[in-house]
Structure 1
Amino acid sequence: MFSRIALFLATNLAVLFLAGIIMSFLGVNPNQMGDLLVMAALFGFGGSLVSLLMSKWLAKRATRAQVITEPRNETERWLLATVQRQAQAAGIGMPEVAVYDAPEINAFATGANRNNALVAVSTGLLRQMQADEAEAVLGHEIAHVANGDMVTMALLQGVLNTFVIVLARVVGGIVDSFLSGNREGGGRGLAYFGIVMVLEMVFGLFATMIAMWFSRRREFRADAGGAQLAGRQKMIAALERLSQNHGQSTLPAQVEAFGIAGGMDQGLRKLFMSHPPLPERIAALRASTAA
């Protein structure tokens, strides 16, 4: 769990650090707020949007998923037929359907366009789940696509990155001015760059918490969407099977947030989880049934 959090943070901090170097090289500082906002937005959204546009290619490459073009067996025929039926019910284009080799029960959806997405399932899911449970998992992933979750996550991350870049430099400038006693010429000392780097790490940590909070909320919505597409009891049964067989995910970090399975950790770790604990998701579905 912590290794994936570290990778997520490192990726965002690398973007912010690179942005800081280039912005410093170009002479952008907190006193040039217009330039700062433009540059921050370019770097903040640039990485997120490029990642979104490349998400299908990256996911297939990272998981070595094999897209089903011509079904080779009854299982693959069932997969294609189920995804096609659910996509039509959700009002989206037919996604690519793929299978990747992994022992755990998992699946994910990604793509920059709700009419040109990718839905992939693990071999572990096909081996260990009943057809009704697998149908619910596919419905959950189709709901992610229909809700536009991939695009929304990319835009949210872009906004958060932009605010981190701007706030770190504005607050860093204030702190540096205070420490230096407003040095002549208004230039920035070496301490300023160190302060900005520390602030980017701190603000980046809080930005990650916000992104993961949103990610957890969208999982509840996708569960509800899966219940509508496949049936509420099937969705509950699928989550119960996940809770019984849950282990460490082998999904790469760049697509793990879009998988069906989530962590079971509690306490402070929960703030960095992309998925709510499975018992909470099951309870939410049962509560909606009783309502």
Structure 2
Amino acid sequence: MGKRVLFFILTNILVMTTIIIVWSLITTYFDIGAIETGGQIDFVALGLFSLVVGFTGSFISLAMSRFIAKKMMNVKVLDPNGRLTAQERAVVEKVHRLSRAAGLMHMPEVGIYQSPEVNAFATGPSKKRSLVAVSSGLLNVMDDDAVEGVIAHEVAHVANGDMVTMTLLQGVVNTFVVFFSRLAAILVSRLVRSEMQGVVRFAAIIIFQILFSILGSIVVMAFSRYREFHADRGGADLAGRDKMAHALRSLKAHINRANVGGHNDDSAIQTMKISGKGGVAKLFSSHPDLDERIKRLEQR
């Protein structure tokens, strides 16, 4: 999933924050949807509100994923029936062949984006509306077997329904984020004068929601790292273990090219992140270390 995971999380935070701001303004103006009456918090109302907002934000982020990925990375979508170069035709054929082997009924969109980074990603709201894209850098420096291994990994993400599964997990995380951010904001607002409580509560909701969302991303990233191992196994089933292992070793060989080309702001969309981080940063890494991925694949 890689950088696409981070992008999904950031999009989710923005969507959630927008929903909360709009809802807070509406409820304040029309005096509806109160979750606190007479100084008592209605935990049932707060829980239901958190559940609805949490999953709404998550599914909106999912629905936007393919469109935003194409725009942010300037992906050229390849028409299988159009005029393609030999290299483009080879990519389309690999994606379609591996997708059929994975049992997909609808072929993913296939794209190439211009970047010297050695990377690829898969995204989309469903198996029926998915996208697999590779960088020009990957095609230019990797041999045919390594490219097939990378594409097999991305197709495995689509076949496994990882984006939908992540959306459900993100919805659960969002629910807790909304619940505890509003609860904390209510408690903080009670520490100031009554005439300031509304402003303080509104600001506290936004601050706590962003803070708790960042903490909640630790759970999502841990899930992402687990799914990477699963996608490696799926890629090995589709392309062969030797090609999958060769792809991972090739990625490791080009690790220094992973984040070049001015795409740091677009880092959320990459699926085959070159290598995970160590230490505390590992908690916020969407991918495990490449050496660990290779080791597990070979031990399988």
TM-score, scaled relative to structure 1: 0.84
The residue that corresponds to 2:110 in the other structure is 97
Residue type matched to 1:80 in 2?
Answer: V
CA deviation string 1:108-138 (max 9, x = no partner): 1111121231111110111111111111111
Residues 140, 253 of structure 1: alpha-carbon distance in 2 compared, 3 angstrom cutoff: same
Contact 1:262 1:273 in 2 (8 A): no
- Is 1:282 the counterpart of 2:288? The answer is no
Farther off after superposition, 21-30 or 5-14: 5-14
- Is 1:235 the counterpart of 2:249? The answer is no
Contact 2:15 2:61 in 1 (8 A): no
Following the alignment from structure 1 to structure 2, what is the Cα–Cα distance between the partners of residues 282 and 43?
40
Among residues 162, 170, 185, which one is paired with 1:149 in the alignment? 162
Following the alignment from structure 2 to structure 1, what is the Cα–Cα distance between the partners of residues 122 and 292?
22
Distance apart, 1:161 and its partner CA: 1.3
Contact 1:29 1:169 in 2 (8 A): no
Contact 1:8 1:253 in 2 (8 A): no
Following the alignment from structure 1 to structure 2, what is the Cα–Cα distance between the partners of residues 235 and 9?
28
Farther off after superposition, 278-287 or 4-13: 4-13
Determine what percentage of the aligned residue pairs are the same residue: 41
Contact 1:261 1:275 in 2 (8 A): yes
- Is 1:206 the counterpart of 2:215? The answer is yes
Residues 28, 14 of structure 1: alpha-carbon distance in 2 compared, 3 angstrom cutoff: farther
Distance apart, 1:36 and its partner CA: 2.4
The residue that corresponds to 1:124 in the other structure is 137
Structure 1 vs Structure 2 CA RMSD: 2.9
* Counterpart secondary structure, 1:109: strand
Query: What count of residue pairs does the alignment treat as equivalent?
Result: 279
- Is 1:65 the counterpart of 2:71? The answer is no
CA deviation string 1:174-224 (max 9, x = no partner): 5666x57xx99xx95655555544533442222010111111111111111
Following the alignment from structure 1 to structure 2, what is the Cα–Cα distance between the partners of residues 4 and 55?
9
- Is 1:215 the counterpart of 2:221? The answer is no
Following the alignment from structure 2 to structure 1, what is the Cα–Cα distance between the partners of residues 15 and 71?
22
Residue type matched to 1:139 in 2?
Answer: A
Residues 135, 10 of structure 1: alpha-carbon distance in 2 compared, 3 angstrom cutoff: closer
Q: How does 1:188-203 map to 2 (within 5 A)?
A: 192-193=201-202, 195-203=204-212
The residue that corresponds to 2:274 in the other structure is 262
Residues 105, 4 of structure 1: alpha-carbon distance in 2 compared, 3 angstrom cutoff: closer
- Structure 2: segments with no counterpart, 5+ residues: 28-32
Following the alignment from structure 1 to structure 2, what is the Cα–Cα distance between the partners of residues 22 and 74?
50
The residue that corresponds to 2:30 in the other structure is none
Distance apart, 1:68 and its partner CA: 1.3
Relative contact order, higher structure (CA 8 A, sep 6+): 2
Farther off after superposition, 71-80 or 124-133: 71-80
- Structure 1: segments with no counterpart, 5+ residues: none
Residues 194, 97 of structure 1: alpha-carbon distance in 2 compared, 3 angstrom cutoff: closer
Residues 266, 128 of structure 1: alpha-carbon distance in 2 compared, 3 angstrom cutoff: same
Residue type matched to 1:78 in 2?
Answer: A
Farther off after superposition, 28-37 or 205-214: 28-37
* Counterpart secondary structure, 1:77: helix
- Is 1:41 the counterpart of 2:54? The answer is no
